[in-house]
Amino acid sequence: MSAIGILGKNLQSGIRLAMARPVQRTDFAFGSVALFLLYAAFFMAWALFDMIDMWPIAAISPWGITSALSQMLLSIVALYLGITLAGHGHQAGRFQVMAVAGLVPLSLFWGAVSLLVDTNIQSMAFVTALSLAAFLSTAIVLLRATSRLRGARLWQGLVPTALMIVATISPSIFVGNYPMFETYYDEDYAAEDIYKPVDVEGIYYAQPELMSQALEQIRPGVPDQPELFAVLGSYYPHEGVFRREVEAVGNLLEARYAAEGRVVRLVNSEETSGYPLANKPNLRQSLAALGNAMNGREDVLLVFLTSHGTEGLISAGYSELAIPELTATDLATLLDESGIANAIVIVSACYSGSFLPVLRSETRMVITASAADRNSFGCADDREWTYFGEAMFDHALRETYDFGEAFSVARELVGQWETDQGLTPSLPQISTGADIGPALDTLTAHLSR
């Protein structure tokens, strides 16, 4: 039989194996040539999807090729180890033919799915379900290969299959995944992409002075006059949209809401920003200072935090400075410690709806840019606003002083933008405590004069 015939026969049998169709050990062509052809097909499929993903191609990545070959070598060893532990080491070659024959079409299928489905704009539940489906389909291939090799019942291959799955995925964890190709980029991008060391010592030594400057300008509230105070936090340093959004929101509050001298900006940025860091100590100190300047139940605090996020946390993404992520529990604790009576908390990040159960309070209005299991959008580095920030602050709150009314306008506007672009709806959320209503009404009436 020719090499093409051997490969074709094994892939045809592998498809039936992967699709849980009837297939027997005798349907495969065994031998060193068969095994070599299957691993070559596996490698070429891997390279094909890397090429499509990185297009247009500028060059082959030596590190990516080395990484891919290393992972394949480790996978060969892992499959051999798995079947040996199952007590069938003498049939390791045959097992690898059957297993890889099923994994090649399976990898082609999931590779196509990954190209067709942009997981960055899907809900966490969808992405989790997709990953689980890929994992289970791989397990089925290994289970059926073990079963057909041994002539045993399917369940009797559970233990060796589990060992083989662990051994097979371990290489990608320890070796890492790197694309085999480098994409094209222009000289300007290349210049910007050069890594700039972070002056960790200088940044941290500058924090006391920066915090002092930020807090010294705070003006105390005027008795019997409801006023808005604010602390604004831009957490993710590697995309300028979050810093620009915080700066724009601060400017809006100072100009339209008479909040000059009552806004504290905390910013994480790769560039020198002139602002204190957005971290837990600075946020705690800012809330304490604003709480001391506010007048009891007359004044209202706005906390606006913008960044990437996931369930229950806001991403700081500043590994060089070891700034930890801010969790919903952290934020609730800091707000409670401040003793501030009335607060509007706006969290603009993916999955920010997960903050609602923790932050919900009778004295707070909590607004999130998305539901607990949804992404929010508009965080590209070249944008001035995120989608929700633009809708809420640059549109709605320029037309009304009522934050609840502004949220309704923003939610509708964001939904319209997402529909126009075919995005999964982010579904912004709101929770308004019963006790904060009078303070918000008074503040809105005062600002509307």
What pLDDT score does 360 carry? 96
What pLDDT score does 147 carry? 79
Structure tokens at 5: 């015939």
Looking at the predicted structure, is the pLDDT value of residue 409 above 60? yes
Nearest-angstrom CA–CA distance, 32 and 38: 10
Looking at the predicted structure, is the pLDDT value of residue 163 above 70? no
Looking at the predicted structure, is the pLDDT value of residue 174 above 60? no
Looking at the predicted structure, is the pLDDT value of residue 381 above 90? no
What pLDDT score does 124 carry? 63
Looking at the predicted structure, is the pLDDT value of residue 410 above 90? yes
Q: What is the residue-averaged pLDDT of the chain? A: 87
Shortest CA distance to 347 belongs to which of 361, 319, 327?
A: 327
Going by pLDDT thresholds of 50, 70 and 90, the confidence category of residue 189 is very low
Looking at the predicted structure, is the pLDDT value of residue 170 above 70? no
What pLDDT score does 156 carry? 53
Q: How many residues does the chain have?
A: 449
3-state secondary structure 358-427: HHCCCCEEEEECCCCCCCCCCCCCCCCCCHHHHHHHHHHHHCCCCHHHHHHHHHHHHHHHHHHCCCCCCC
- 313: Cα separation from own chain's centroid: 11
Lowest mean pLDDT among 5-9, 189-193, 324-328: 189-193
- 421: Cα separation from own chain's centroid: 20
Looking at the predicted structure, is the pLDDT value of residue 187 above 70? no
Shortest CA distance to 303 belongs to which of 361, 350, 365?
A: 365
What pLDDT score does 314 carry? 94
Shortest CA distance to 144 belongs to which of 39, 25, 29?
A: 25
- For residues 128 and 229, the model is more confident at 229
- For residues 330 and 79, the model is more confident at 330
3-state DSSP helix/strand/coil % of the chain, to nearest 5: 60, 10, 30
What pLDDT score does 191 carry? 47
What pLDDT score does 14 carry? 92
Going by pLDDT thresholds of 50, 70 and 90, the confidence category of residue 31 is very high
Nearest-angstrom CA–CA distance, 37 and 48: 16
pLDDT above 70 covers a percentage of the chain that reads: 89
Going by pLDDT thresholds of 50, 70 and 90, the confidence category of residue 190 is very low
Looking at the predicted structure, is the pLDDT value of residue 167 above 60? no
- 246: Cα separation from own chain's centroid: 20
Shortest CA distance to 39 belongs to which of 86, 64, 61, 71?
A: 71
Nearest-angstrom CA–CA distance, 326 and 329: 8
Shortest CA distance to 414 belongs to which of 370, 379, 355?
A: 370
Going by pLDDT thresholds of 50, 70 and 90, the confidence category of residue 196 is low
Going by pLDDT thresholds of 50, 70 and 90, the confidence category of residue 117 is confident
Looking at the predicted structure, is the pLDDT value of residue 251 above 60? yes
- For residues 178 and 267, the model is more confident at 267
What pLDDT score does 159 carry? 60
- For residues 60 and 330, the model is more confident at 330
270: part of which helix (H) or strand (E)?
none
Looking at the predicted structure, is the pLDDT value of residue 155 above 60? no
Give the chain's radius of gyration (CA, Å). Answer: 28
Structure tokens at 176: 């890492």
Average pLDDT over residues 385-402: 97
DSSP track, 314-354: E---BGGGTBPPEEHHHHHHHHHHHT-S-EEEEEESTTGGG
Average pLDDT over residues 52-70: 80
Question: Is 0.85 surpassed by the pTM of this model?
Answer: no
DSSP track, 424-439: PP---EEEE-TTTHHH
Helix (H, G, I), strand (E, B) or coil at 265: strand
Looking at the predicted structure, is the pLDDT value of residue 276 above 90? yes
Shortest CA distance to 348 belongs to which of 377, 380, 326?
A: 377
Average pLDDT over residues 324-350: 96
What pLDDT score does 219 carry? 95
- For residues 171 and 429, the model is more confident at 429
User: Which alpha helices (H) appear in 19-61, and where do they start and end?
Assistant: 32-54
Residue type, 117: V
Q: Tell me how crowded residue 383 is: count the other CB atoms within 10 A of its CB.
A: 18
Nearest-angstrom CA–CA distance, 250 and 393: 10
Looking at the predicted structure, is the pLDDT value of residue 291 above 60? yes
388 near 354, Cβ under 8 Å?
no
Shortest CA distance to 287 belongs to which of 302, 272, 276, 269?
A: 302
